[in-house]
Amino acid sequence: MTRVYALVNQKGGVGKTTTVINLGAYLAEAGQRVLLVDLDPQANATACLGIDHDQVDAGTYDALIGRANANDILLYNPNLKLSLLPSSPALAGAQIELVDVENREGLLRLALDPLREHFNYILIDCPPSLGLLTINGLLAATSGVIIPVQCEYLALEGLTQLMQTLKRVRKGLYPSLKIRGLVLTMYDSRTNLSQDVVREVRTHFGDEVFETVVPRSVRLAEAPSHGVPISAYDPSSSGASAYRGLAEELMQGDRVKAPVAVAGVGG
């Protein structure tokens, strides 16, 4: 069974792309076949893997509009054992260009369907907004959404707005959309504020919050500039330990085991 998760938060700077890249890297390290989908016009996930989006000939936008088969434009990193559907410059205008397209909210799900048999996990990095691209990500997330929550006060206000959006999507487009879990990020144990946010989120969302808490980490912030996840940049760091733990927690909750390697897409 393929797990397809959208990582979403309309607030920028909460560690969403960092979570996509590093969670994906540790899932791959555990033997899972992983596809990362960069649905953000800013192309941060693409850049974090050392790829210049200006050099991408075809990417998520081309798959959305049917100009290219997603299977044919995937990029594969053999060292990390990660596949990527990259962002491209054309994605920036997609929210306007797709407005009049039939089934515009379900285009990504349609594009990804043929890939499901080749991957154990598909992680979608949604843009920091609640527009059409994010709605596409939500409708494609057949296994649920993962919500990174920064351990700061304003993050709680943004979380309320996001929950309202998810409720509207359930009501109007995708009744079975569910929350897989909230990930607390950028935690600083030295501050009362971080501790208060953790307590508040756990009080309101209970078991929906992952036990793993990702600390604020200089090494996590440095890794993208080297074009690699923390597992390759500094595997002994606290950030690496956190994302390794998050991957293990996710797999345990999904009740999956490391699969036997097989030839296929992205290999």
Q: Do the domain assignments include residue 260?
A: no
> Residues 6 or more apart from 181 whose CB is under 8 A from it?
144, 146, 147, 208, 209, 210, 250, 253
Q: CA–CA distance from 208 to each of 96, 145, 251, 261 (Å)?
A: 34, 11, 15, 31
Residue 150 belongs to domain spanning: 3-254
Report the distance separating Cα 223 and Cα 44, nearest Å.
Answer: 12
Q: Do the domain assignments include residue 214?
A: yes
Count how many domains the chain has. 1
Indicate the pairing of strand 82-85 with strand 3-7.
Answer: unpaired
Report the distance separating Cα 84 and Cα 199, nearest Å.
Answer: 35
Q: Which of 136, 140, 134 is nearest to 101 (CA)?
A: 136
Report the distance separating Cα 164 and Cα 161, nearest Å.
Answer: 5
CATH of residue 81's domain is 3.40.50.300
Report the distance separating Cα 23 and Cα 176, nearest Å.
Answer: 24
> In 10 A of CB 184, how many CB atoms?
25
Paired residues of 184 in beta bridges? 149, 213
Q: Do the domain assignments include residue 23?
A: yes
Per-residue pLDDT in tens (0 to 9) along the chain, 267 residues: 899 999 999 888 899 999 999 999 999 999 999 999 999 999 999 999 999 888 888 999 999 988 999 999 999 999 999 999 999 878 888 878 888 888 899 999 999 999 999 999 999 999 998 889 999 999 999 999 999 999 988 877 788 889 998 999 999 999 999 999 999 999 998 899 999 999 999 999 999 999 999 999 999 999 999 999 999 999 999 999 999 999 999 999 998 655 443 333 444
Q: Do the domain assignments include residue 249?
A: yes
Report the distance separating Cα 3 and Cα 82, nearest Å.
Answer: 15
Q: Do the domain assignments include residue 263?
A: no
Indicate the pairing of strand 179-187 with strand 121-125.
Answer: unpaired
Dihedral over Cα of 92, 95, 98, 104: its sign: positive
Q: Do the domain assignments include residue 261?
A: no
Q: Do the domain assignments include residue 262?
A: no
Tokens of 124: 């979608």
Report the distance separating Cα 121 and Cα 186, nearest Å.
Answer: 24
Long-range contacts of 190-197 (CB under 8 A, 24+ apart): 193/151, 193/152, 193/153, 194/151, 194/152, 197/149, 197/151, 197/152, 197/153, 197/155, 197/156
pTM of this structure: 0.93
